[in-house]
Structure 1
Amino acid sequence: MKPEQITETARRLRTAESGVRILRTLSWSPEVRREFFARDARELPRVTYPVMNAAPIHAQLAEIRRGIEGDGTVARWLRRCADAIGSSADMLASAGTPAFLEYGKRLYGTPTSQQGDATALALAQTVERVCDSVAGLDLGAPSAACHFATAVAQGLRRACVRLFGDQAPEVVVVDQLSANALAGPRRIQVRRDACFTDRDLNQLIQHEAYVHVCTSLNGRAQAKLPILAASHAGTTRTQEGLAVFAEFITGTQDPDRLRRLADRVLAIDMALRGADFLEVYRFFLGRGIPREQAFENARRVFRGGVVEGGVPFTKDVVYLDGFLRVTNMLRAIVAGGRADCLSLLFCGKLDLEDFPALAELSEIGLCAPPTYLPPWAADRRFLVSYLAYSQFLDGVRVDEHRSHYRELLGRTDTAPWGGETVPTDIPTRGAVIDG
């Protein structure tokens, strides 16, 4: 394809994508929550969704596909984008029916989707075991505190101005929001009644501002590839995985945050196995979560699906699944001496599978380098050191070493200031990234 054809196709895909708004379409009215608690949380929520006709989107995509020539790397990328947009439209058109699940699985995967020999479900189960094992330990955290949304918003504003300058998005406190915070290229919203811990501000900076806003602004700057500004479902796994990796590599993640991500996967797995909304809601209550937040957590699992069970919205699998995939890609980049690929992650809204196409497009001048990079990606010294060590651990036979240290710990008295001991039955293969 000629450069001008590629740019025109990318523009038309961006236009088609703008007609598919997943979270907005699947949102629940505040009245659903009010009625749920008015009935003492004993009956399933009553939810309806707007009727969507996917035919106009598919007509647009059919016309776009006719203009994609050949079967090269770039052509396959453009078709993948079209496929993701089409599947998203079909998913929205099937909201509230069993067919919704099949499109969701195609776009986001499931808790047992494989990444090498690891799955998001196995990682979630390991997180659950570890968090349970350290529940009685003093991890050095400060006393519990609730930071107001206004203070968190002020911190986000300062961080955004520091990295993005006059391109920094507006940060506003709003009354209604599906999450504690939500980021876009022009605005970051913070929910007024959300309660934030001492770690939440830095997590939001790394996750929402320095990844989601960063890739949005970089994508909007791609004048010759407008589709890179679009947060379509085909990019969600990589974007959320990259954002969770950013929390991890900057040391802003904590057990509570990791447990929340794991619980989402466990709840989706429950719903896939037939649990209804009430069972999932009670699962979150059993975690010690206040009833309003337990409702919101369960809502995330069932929005667009069937509240009677069996048909969840699998999107929230992508946080851990994408974390595994992004980490393994970064390890491969370091092991292969391909540090040139690091900046590709931030060129816009993309999937890891897009790397070959974007590298080719960079060569012919269609894909521009990212304007903004978060500090951990701009100064890669710690990143490369960590990934090099992680790569080395691939070749270490962990079980042999573990048996020796387990025996050693068995001969060690409990330290009087150390708290409770950690269980020894935590799996090492298939649950977390190898190493």
Structure 2
Amino acid sequence: MNKEQQEKDRFCQISSILYDASQPIRILTHLEWNRDIKREFFVNKGKELPRVKYPQFDSSKTLSLVNQARSLLGDTDIDKWLERTAVKLEYGALMMASAGTKKFYEFSEKLYGKPTNPFADGKSTPLELANTFDKQISSYANYDLGAPPPMCYLASGIAEQMREAVIKMFGDEAPKVEIVDELSANALANPNLIRIRKTACFTDLDAQQLINHEAYIHVATSINGLAQPHLKILAAGHPGTTKTQEGLAVFAEYISNSIDLDRLRRLADRIIAIQMAIEGADFLQVYQYFLERIGNESQAYENSRRVFRGGVLTGGAPFTKDGVYLEGLIRIHNFLKAIVTNGRADCLRLLFCGKLDLEDIPVLYKLEKMGLCQLPKYLPPWAKDARYLLAYLTCSEFLGKMDMTKIYAHYDELLHSIPKAIK
């Protein structure tokens, strides 16, 4: 066996070990709150902190396998990628083991970041983005958006549309779609099953939003990862991939015209609430924040639960995962613009070859050239037929180079002459 083949075999072996290390890490399942906690909270009229106890998690299997993988690492770019993956798996296991303590937040911040961490420009932050969205969306309060009257679409109708979409895209590999009584979100997906919460109230856009988000991204990248014959780790949705996976999923909503202002505001609110908790707000204070925002007690509770699951309910140590949706959206959008600027549309498909992080793309490109990383079997419609995507990005790339300060000054003067009564 020549040296090149030995290196390939070593990469595959490490990838397989890390995949095994990822299997016990089921963060959202571990952090789930049962219905009795919610029931008791409202029996106490929302005046007492929820009583939450998490099961014990044994991190030894993951940590042992991570150490085994590390013993095989060398000093190539591919080894450094595998080491980064090992670190994320290690932190994920330690975070689960520390649920309910302040230590949990320390690992959460390392894995998902926090609202005040800067973007790649070194200045802008997710918190600034959230506050900007909140301010701008509030300015539309008196504008007739032309939306249909609000109504609650049932889970059964959403599930039927989801079934049709996954069968059309995945054929025999389509996951089952089920309606369940309990779920930590309105919908959750894995390569075998998409679950939709029975009691959720869906809007007119939610079906397409969930199809584009859950099926066309989360399910597709899972199946594509499982189909990788050499790099099993690409099938593992570990915490190191979350920012890119959720960013892709929200971008999919955006590029498919299935996102709306309410969705953007919910994502922004999550970031603002996380920052409140970091600064010391407890569960009751965050609950009141959401209650004032949306006026629905049950939804205010669910929003608050997302912020505090795994963390400390008295404040100072939340779960920061929900900050990655908007941050990931910006990262994906900027990366796609960079693809256009650099004439590298050939890198687009690599985003979907499995569960990965944007920073992995150079290494995956090298692995693809080595024959170890396969191009994806399934692509979302907007990437499979990329004509609209690339036309949009081509225009967006030019707009990003313009001096917006002067442009805004010009139109500010124009708009100030228009009475605000005009709708």
406-415 or 253-262: which moved more?
Answer: 406-415
How far did residue 287 of structure 1 move?
A: 1.1
1:14 aligns with 2:15: no
CA distance in 2, matches of 1:321, 1:131: 18
Secondary structure (helix, strand or coil) at the match of 2:348 reads helix
1:167 aligns with 2:193: no
- Equivalences for 1:5-404 in 2 at 5 Å? 5-68=10-73, 70-115=74-119, 116=121, 117-404=123-410
Contact 1:73 1:356 in 2 (8 A): no
Contact 2:21 2:61 in 1 (8 A): no
Q: Unaligned regions of 5+ residues in structure 1, if any?
A: 419-435
String of CA shifts for 1:135-186, please: whole Å, max 9, x gaps.
1211110111111000000000111111111111101100000100011100
CA distance in 2, matches of 1:250, 1:25: 32
Contact 2:20 2:65 in 1 (8 A): no
How far did residue 53 of structure 1 move?
A: 3.0
CA distance in 1, matches of 2:421, 2:52: 53
CA distance in 2, matches of 1:58, 1:295: 35
How far did residue 292 of structure 1 move?
A: 1.1
CA distance in 1, matches of 2:228, 2:61: 27
CA distance in 1, matches of 2:362, 2:406: 39
Secondary structure (helix, strand or coil) at the match of 2:294 reads coil
Contact 2:155 2:202 in 1 (8 A): yes
CA distance in 2, matches of 1:414, 1:285: 30
How far did residue 58 of structure 1 move?
A: 1.4
How far did residue 54 of structure 1 move?
A: 2.3
Secondary structure (helix, strand or coil) at the match of 1:118 reads coil
Secondary structure (helix, strand or coil) at the match of 1:349 reads coil
Give the aligned CA root-mean-square deviation in angstroms: 1.1
The counterpart of 2:411, out of the listed 391, 405, 411, is: 405
Output the amino acid matched with 1:80.
R
How far did residue 50 of structure 1 move?
A: 1.4
Secondary structure (helix, strand or coil) at the match of 2:362 reads helix
Output the amino acid matched with 1:257.
R
String of CA shifts for 1:184-225, please: whole Å, max 9, x gaps.
100100000100010111100110111111101101100211
CA distance in 2, matches of 1:240, 1:288: 24
CA distance in 2, matches of 1:413, 1:129: 20
How far did residue 44 of structure 1 move?
A: 0.5
TM, length-normalised to structure 2: 0.96
CA distance in 1, matches of 2:324, 2:201: 24
CA distance in 1, matches of 2:162, 2:126: 30
CA distance in 2, matches of 1:102, 1:398: 38
How far did residue 96 of structure 1 move?
A: 1.1
CA distance in 1, matches of 2:159, 2:366: 39
CA distance in 2, matches of 1:43, 1:242: 38
How far did residue 24 of structure 1 move?
A: 1.1
How far did residue 118 of structure 1 move?
A: 2.3
CA distance in 1, matches of 2:26, 2:160: 29
Secondary structure (helix, strand or coil) at the match of 1:171 reads strand
The count of corresponding residues between Structure 1 and Structure 2 is: 416
CA distance in 1, matches of 2:316, 2:145: 38
String of CA shifts for 1:107-137, please: whole Å, max 9, x gaps.
0000112112322111111110111110121
How far did residue 56 of structure 1 move?
A: 3.3
CA distance in 2, matches of 1:78, 1:164: 30
Contact 2:166 2:215 in 1 (8 A): yes
How far did residue 288 of structure 1 move?
A: 2.1
Secondary structure (helix, strand or coil) at the match of 1:193 reads coil
Secondary structure (helix, strand or coil) at the match of 2:83 reads helix
Output the amino acid matched with 1:329.
F
Output the amino acid matched with 1:165.
G
How far did residue 414 of structure 1 move?
A: 4.5
TM, length-normalised to structure 1: 0.94
CA distance in 1, matches of 2:142, 2:182: 35
Aligned to 2:3: none
Q: Unaligned regions of 5+ residues in structure 2, if any?
A: 1-5
CA distance in 2, matches of 1:388, 1:119: 25
How far did residue 415 of structure 1 move?
A: 6.1
- Identity rate of aligned residues, in percent? 51
